[in-house]
Structure 1
Amino acid sequence: MDLFAGCGGFGLGLEQAGFTPIFVNELNDDARGTYIANRKDRHEHFARGLDESKWLNEFSSSDARKMVSKKGYLDGLQKLFKSEFEISHGEIDLIVGGPPCQGFSGIGHRRSYAVEKKILPSNHLYKDMAKIIGHLRPRAFVFENVRGLLTGRWTEEGNTGEIWKDVKNAFAGIGEYTLAAELVYAKNYGVAQNRPRVILVGVRHDVIGKAATTKAEAEHIDGTGISSGFLPKGAPGKAPNIVDVLGDLVDPDYKNGGSTTEYPSKAACETQRWFRTSADGSRLAGKGSPVTEHDYSKHHPDVIKKFKAMIRGGDFEATKKFAQRVLPTEWGPTGPSITATSLPDDYVHFEQPRTLTVREWARLQGFPDWYEFKGKRTTGGLRRAGNPLEGIHFRELPKYTQIGNAVPVPMAKAIGEHLASLLRKGRK
């Protein structure tokens, strides 16, 4: 089960690791539409009875809170799993979820409004995830979130780390699960980003053969994810460079504000061949084959002039954009130093005076080129930020934001492969 699934980065990585998604929960229609659109042809249950205008489906939900508050919903869901997949209570292998993280993010100064974290409804959705896990009793679960969660405070006068403590207590309170947690970095799992993420793993005590973690013990699980064997160590230094990730998409004839609809060159390395392989693995897109989502933003001439100066490394008028910089073609000794967020203009292309296209942004997160995205290309202002001070919590999720919010696919695959191995051992 994929809770707070967004556009499906975590889910896709788990599928690549051998898992089959049976249910998706995501509040935003466009993000949920992206998730289902990329699975309905591969998993028949996602296509059944599908209303593509609203993405309605019995194997999906838009609201985690209604899942736990609506009487009989989770019991009905378990009956559905039994009838459709012959999965009895307690036999779901894995539930994963990354509740919305805007309230915990370390880039809070980029938000339009600052409010106490305690009053943001989305900051309490981890409790709903814990309730769903407690009711369905999967063999394992994974909670994922941003690094800022580790030091977050509910109020300005609160204690550093109090939110993370409450999160750990909520999952330890389920009972019968052994917990471990780790701050991991995407660069150690074959991703062209640094991207730190907090991962909390719970494995049912009868599966792992270890005592369940109590609330008192949950205080001390930080840094135990890898050492306890619940998470893979990764392979530092294996992240591809930017040229390997994006080089074959460089169109020498691109137009400012235009689009490239065909691959301008053939794949030049294994990384590019992977991105260009079809979903079923049978075809490799060659030069001249169709490519989607490769549309360019239309920049003002002065912006283009500045971008050219940035690429050359010369002087230019300082930008007001947060941390806007040119993508490096080579990593330093510690590996990737970038993190793709919801803002596509954080980075300038390494060779051309422009920001990145949706397809390039998706590659930074490890999405293959066959993956399609629903909704607007981009948006801004209240539509993206909302206004919590006035009770406006709805946020649009355009394509760039969907991608920026996702769990990198290769990291999700590595976690999935590791957990699959643990669960297989637990069946013996």
Structure 2
Amino acid sequence: MKDKQLFVADFFAGCGGLSFGLELAGFHPAYVNELNKDAIESYLINREYEYPYLRDTAFHCNDIKDLVLNKKLLTNTIKELKNQLNIDVKNGDLDLLVGGPPCQGFSGIGHRRSYSVDKEQLPSNHLYEDMAYVVSVLKPKIFLFENVKGLLSAKWNPDGVKGEIWEDVLSTFKNLKDYQVNFSLVRAKDYGVSQNRPRVLLVGIRNDVYKKSESLIKGIVANGFLPSPTFDACDLEDLLGDLVDDNYENGGFTNKYVKPAATTVQKYFRTTVDGKLLAKGSILTEQEYSKHAPNVLTKFKYMHEHDGKIHESMKTKKFAQRVLPAKWDEKGPTITATSLPDDYVHFSQPRTLTVREWARLQGFPDYYRFAGSRTTGGIRRAGNPREGNFSRELPKYTQIGNAVPVFLAKAVGEHFAKIINKANES
């Protein structure tokens, strides 16, 4: 390992969207935490060649509380970070620590499945405290907390005050010693992502780093703690057009690219780790189509033929099902990829999106692999807090939907890298 490499510790990492974007910005993963076995396997299999040490228990854990409550484990991790990666935590060498605690208790979808349980009763809604503790111990130069827009207005219980949870989160991080803290609500579409996807990003910059790089910390987003927007999101037909198989079958799959890459963004997604552009006829993964019932196909076809409208006789309880536009209007992207791919109908075919198309929406290149089942539903995906069941399966669609969009993470990472490198030069 070279001395001047930038390293990041990623907590609640999921399948690795935030980490991957940061890696594109020049960071290297030093530690990963993720509770779900399939999600962390997705994270690890995509890094096992370049970062094999992550398989070592000194560099990953499932439950953050193992690290928080087990002093011996934490001490060993700090020791191995220095021995193997030359990161002297006690000397303030860790560059970046990021985390997005599970947000099902704050998001609109999570609220839909909360079974009327107060948010203060959901253990996952208090994990920000554990993240703050880890920050206080590892003392990174910069830390990033990210979560859903709903966190800003959430209440601990029906009798609470709107926004009280966010006030608790904000005060917890502001009370950390030696950090300047700022935050903003950002939209992924402003950073090259073909989604609206609003996210709350809270940034802490260590005082010594802030003083040395203050000249770079300027801007309209969180007073320069976050990067300025790029406003370069592409249309969906430019993003997904090369994956459209005119001969696809309902419930079938397409295992080879049927078209060459026609746009710059398609070429990006089809470029392998070693720089090879995948041509027509190359192997394509995760392009399996859901098997829709005849009445569903009829509804989708009707929607295509009637400007997205659903006939009264075909309406269901789906809260947001609509046809995706091939091109955005002047407002830009208006969708948010969630754990529910059946909320959206493909822009040119009567079907929902495949795992690979869902992954492209989030910025994952076509070589990125995902562990676990393709999809699941009901209690297995949401748990039942009323019965004390907090376990949740994370099939591929859910892993991808939960991820931080890669291009947003890359923009944030590039901004952080400039700040840290400036401080290192000083």
Coarse TM-score class (shorter-chain normalised): over 0.9
TM-score by length of 1: 0.93
**2 CA distance for matches of 1:328 and 1:113?**
34
Query: SS at the partner of 1:159?
Result: coil
Aligned to 2:215: none
Q: Can you list the C-alpha shifts for 1:213-234, whole angstroms capped at 9, x where unaligned?
A: xxxxxxxxxxx97252110111
Q: Secondary structure at the match of 2:147?
A: strand
**Are positions 1:61 and 2:54 aligned together?**
no
TM-superposition CA deviations, 1:7-42 (whole Å, max 9, x none): 000000000000000110000000000000000012
AA aligned to 1:370 is Y
SS in 2 for 1:23: strand
Q: Within 2, Cα distance between the matches of 1:114 and 1:28?
A: 24
Matched residue SS, 2:104: coil
Q: Output aligned runs, 1:328-343, within 5 Å.
A: 328-343=325-340
- 1:314-329 alignment, distance < 5 Å: 316=311, 317-329=314-326
**Is 1:304 aligned with 2:297?**
yes
Runs of 4+ more than 4 Å apart: none
Aligned to 1:23: 31
Matches within 5 A, 1:47-126: 47=55, 57-89=57-89, 90-111=92-113, 113-126=115-128
Q: Residue by residue, what CA displacement relative to the aligned partner does 1:395-427 show, whole Å, maximum 9, x if unpaired? A: 000000000000000000000000000111111
| Inter-partner Cα distance in structure 2 for 1:169 and 1:109 | 24
Equivalent in 149, 152, 155 of residue 154 of structure 2: 152
- The aligned runs of 1:12-411 (5 Å cut-off) are 12-47=20-55, 57-89=57-89, 90-111=92-113, 113-209=115-211, 226-236=221-231, 238-280=232-274, 282-313=275-306, 316=311, 317-411=314-408
Q: Is the 8 A contact 2:14 2:39 kept in 1?
A: yes
In 2, distance between residues paired with 1:131 and 1:112?
Answer: 27
The 1:156/1:112 distance shift into structure 2, 3 A limit, reads closer
Deviates more, 1:365-374 or 1:326-335: 326-335
Q: Distance in 2 between the 1:190 and 1:315 partners?
A: 31
- Kept in 1, the 8 Å contact 2:184–2:222? The answer is no
Shift of 1:175: 0.9
1:76: how far off?
Answer: 1.6
2:114 touches 2:385 (CA, 8 Å); kept in 1?
no
Q: Structure 2 unaligned segments of length 5 or more: list them.
A: 1-8, 213-218
User: How far apart, CA to CA, are the structure 2 residues paired with 1:64 and 1:197?
Assistant: 22
> For the aligned residues, what is the CA RMSD?
1.6
Q: Secondary structure at the match of 1:39?
A: coil
Does the CA contact (< 8 Å) of 1:304 and 1:354 recur in 2?
yes
The residue type paired with residue 322 of structure 2 is: R
Distance in structure 1 (CA, Å) of the matches to 2:119 and 2:17? 26
Equivalent position amino acid for 1:245 in 2: L
Q: Partners of 1:404 and 1:127 in 2: how far apart?
A: 24
The percentage of aligned residue pairs carrying the same residue is 57
Partner letter of residue 43 of structure 1? Answer: Y
Change (3 A) 1:405 1:124: same
Q: Distance in 2 between matches of 1:160 and 1:327?
A: 33
CA distance in 2, matches of 1:193, 1:115: 30
**Cα displacement string for residues 196-249 of structure 1 (whole angstroms, at most 9, x for unaligned residues):** 000000010011118xxxxxxxxxxxxx9725211011122x110000111000
Q: Is the 8 A contact 1:365 1:408 kept in 2?
A: yes
Q: Contact (CA 8 Å) 1:74, 1:132: kept in 2 or not?
A: no
Distance 2:344 2:114 in 1: 20
Contact 1:14 1:413 in 2 (8 A): yes
What SS does the corresponding residue of 1:79 show, helix, strand or coil? helix
3-state SS, counterpart of residue 97 of structure 2: strand
Question: 2:220 and 2:400 mapped to 1: Cα distance?
Answer: 26
- Distance in 2, matches of 1:109 and 1:164, equals 16
The answer as to 2:410 corresponding to 1:413 is yes
CA distance in 2, matches of 1:315, 1:12: 38
